Chains A and B, each alone.
Chain A
């Protein structure tokens, strides 16, 4: 329970036997992806790669404008208006914010947790990235870049929920110990703020960015099931088998209304 805030220290004068104190200040990460795949750390054991794109056909719902007039500091950052990120179609007709991960076929082993932290930034009353991938137990640095109150309120079903406020510009470090796809994250102060965190227990995951492509590398040769997840259009799976050292191309296609 490394992450739990040791409230019990408040009870110090009455606690005769003290357990060892946890927590402590983690170093903030040097860099964090504003979008795109969360950099998989750990020690992948192979040299194979799965890459591809997530295509989109049909019509997407019109993005809805977000009214931020309650927070001038945030509103100022979007002079041209700001819209919901439920469905973001790239110029090349691909779909952004799709979380891809290997769900079947991995060798039965424990993957090392990367020591690098990933960044979840709150900027302009939005989450960057909107969809974040992270390995179980990996540090997530939650950053408030706005300097106004945000609270991070993830609503997991397998992990333990938490709800922490950040009143000023600051970092808070947290982890999710259990794999879970996906954990919605909300801010109770700004009801339009919505993000998702995908937690897996291995380093083989990716999130599509502004070109709709993804790449999962470092896989050992084998047969895998790759799952794609999108917040509105749900999940799709594809099976793929890759030889040692090879790269396999796959394509997901989501269809709008």
Chain B
């Protein structure tokens, strides 16, 4: 590949078709949006702790013309943009975009994605989405403010809330682009995983991360077009005056059905890759094979399949026929099962292991322990009669944050710290990683566990000043406590950022395989060269042969040939270079 050296800087690092570069592009943009989403959360929680108080410095800077206090029309905008940014611009891009792009070819033994140029496009179609969404902060009436769910008619009637003027239109446009990127990325992932596996890499020898990303991609392929279609209808309603979702002439509830038909699977799009990452990391640092590999794979499939049948549980009190509520309740109860199976298998993996509690492992374990709370708290709201009370209260906010922060975000922390050496060739500090972990884990629970208490009092979400209600005045102290905890949590993230950027330049050189892990990416240099594998490796076994009696070391790489190992059956090996297949 002599042409590699001749690629210009722009082709190499900006408009690159190298999956590793695209993965890093997703990583850095997602980190930027994580910061932004966090700032929005800080403003929100400050308001909840001390409603309508002047905010020192920031109040003057942002709200100078209106008494230095957070205006009531801005609070719904904060809620909306925090949700939108964290979900669509942070969690999904960092899991599917960053880890997915970086890991899929490396872990299956391919030189790149099946469609590298499509891959490039799937990042660069996100860039206008970023710009449009950020631009909505600049418009005079502010960004979208109808909630991340953008329920109609609030999101269509321009006079209903300031954010429903220009801001909502920009939101819709941006989301369409995000959806396009998702679909393109997903098709690429599916094709790559099906077609470009190295010889011997049977489907049931894939690492769980790849299985999870594979099923996630299938979910995204089937669910995202529904959202995109709904967004187009909303766009037409807002611009040329169609009445798809209008009250009376159209169907208000239809939006909710279409939105949740995508967005419930989207919750699994956000959690499945983290589950895969946690499985890989827990197995590696337990120095022990993953317990129940196939049940784990089938659970992921079951979650994905059932994920399409539960969207109505967001709508138990929406005016949907209550008989449907019973069906959705039953399917929702059942979707808890595969998650439970996965949890038991993670415990099974720990059992009898030799546990190395390094920073990625700690975060993966935090994933398991908080995901348990997220999952179990979901059973309460799955119980339709109880959900009558809990729906749209802080119970739900607590539940989703235990799944998406406790689950996905700890999965992200784990994954980024685990693969950092492979991405950048250097180690992150384990000590600082542990300090960051402990501070984040403790404060996380101090913020979100009390939300279940707030929910028990019936405190609704998206309320700028709960203390207008006499029944919630006694909750202000608790809310202030949670806000203080958030301040500590936010400060702790500087430790992660410092560790990340310091290690980027000054970290210890990692070498090929710092964790002594089995999967194919660790057989390469760190960072791997352009086109990854000089020779496509041959895979002889599954990804989790830790502590195998066949060797004296406690790990056994997937491509290591041992005497007597059965050679792989000849499979349709990727005879062509991926770039040619584009």
Contacts and interface: CB of A to CB of B under 8 A. Distances in A.
Q: Do chains A and B touch in the complex (CB under 8 A)?
A: yes
Interface of A: 1, 3-15, 21, 23-26, 149, 151, 153, 160-168, 170-174, 188
A151 B141 contact: no
Given A162-B162, A170-B66, A10 B39 contact: yes
Interface of B: 32-33, 35-36, 39-40, 43, 51-52, 60-69, 71-74, 77, 81, 130, 134, 137-143, 159, 161-162, 165, 464-465
A24 B138 contact: no
Contact of A9 (B52, B61, B77): B61
Contacts of A8: 134, 137-138
B159 A153 contact: yes
Given A13-B39, A14-B33, A173-B65, A7 B465 contact: no
A26 B67 CA distance: 10
Contacts, number: 108
Given A14-B33, A166-B72, 9 more contacts: A5-B62, A5-B74, A7-B142, A7-B143, A9-B62, A10-B40, A13-B35, A173-B65, A188-B159
B52 A172 contact: no
Given A5-B140, A5-B142, A160-B140, A172 B67 contact: yes
A5 B134 contact: no
Contacts of B465: 167
A7 B66 contact: no
Contact of B63 (A5, A168, A188): A5
Contacts of A171: 66-67
B39 to A, nearest CB: 7
A109 B141 CA distance: 33
27 contacts: A5-B65, A5-B71, A5-B74, A8-B138, A10-B40, A10-B43, A10-B62, A12-B39, A14-B32, A15-B134, A21-B61, A23-B65, A24-B64, A26-B65, A151-B72, A161-B165, A162-B141, A163-B141, A164-B71, A165-B72, A167-B71, A167-B465, A168-B52, A170-B69, A171-B66, A172-B66, A172-B67
A5 B66 CA distance: 9
Contact of A25 (B64, B74, B140, B159): B64
A255 to B, nearest CB: 34
Contact of A166 (B33, B66, B138, B165): B66
A151 B77 CA distance: 16
Given A21-B61, A151-B72, A163-B73, A10 B137 contact: yes
A10 B78 CA distance: 10
The 5 A-B pairs of least Cβ separation, nearest first, read: A165-B72, A170-B67, A172-B66, A4-B140, A8-B138
Contact of B72 (A5, A9, A167): A167
B131 to A, nearest CB: 10
Contact of B138 (A7, A13, A164, A170): A7
Given A163-B73, A164-B71, A167-B72, A1 B62 contact: no
A100 B66 CA distance: 30
Most buried by B among A1, A8, A11: A11
A23 B58 CA distance: 13
A165 B71 contact: yes
Contact of A165 (B33, B60, B73, B159): B73
Nearest to A6: B62
A166 B52 CA distance: 9
A24 B67 CA distance: 10
B89 to A, nearest CB: 10
Nearest to A15: B134
